[in-house]
Amino acid sequence: MQSIEAVFSGGVFKPLGDVNLPENARVHLQVQPIAKKEDVLEWLRGVQEMRQKLFEEHGYFPDSAIDIAEDRRR
């Protein structure tokens, strides 16, 4: 199975690279939208804001290692 990046335009999927298939071959498509760079940057800004908020509230970035160790001892 090959993975091909494509653009959906005018009701048609248009591959952005070579497709090793015979003409008129039937295929099964599994569509997974690709996040835009701006979406990823917006998410990262949100993460950084949350991290800063945790630092301001707790004075440090909380670590769950102690909780994990306690759960393992049970």
Task: Tell me if 54 is assigned to some domain.
Answer: yes
In this prediction, residue 68 carries a pLDDT of: 67
Task: Tell me if 1 is assigned to some domain.
Answer: no
Cα–Cα distances in angstroms (integers) from residue 23 to residues 1, 7, 27, 47, in the given order: 17, 19, 11, 46
- Mean pLDDT of successive 10-residue segments in the chain (74 residues)? 87 91 91 79 86 78 67 72
Task: Report the predicted TM-score, pTM, of the whole model to 2 decimal places.
Answer: 0.42
DSSP 2-17: ----EEEETTEEEESS
In this prediction, residue 11 carries a pLDDT of: 93
Domain that holds residue 60: 6-73
Task: Tell me if 51 is assigned to some domain.
Answer: yes
The domain total for the chain is 1
In this prediction, residue 2 carries a pLDDT of: 78
Task: Tell me if 14 is assigned to some domain.
Answer: yes
In this prediction, residue 63 carries a pLDDT of: 65
In this prediction, residue 64 carries a pLDDT of: 66
Q: What one-character DSSP code corresponds to residue 56?
A: H
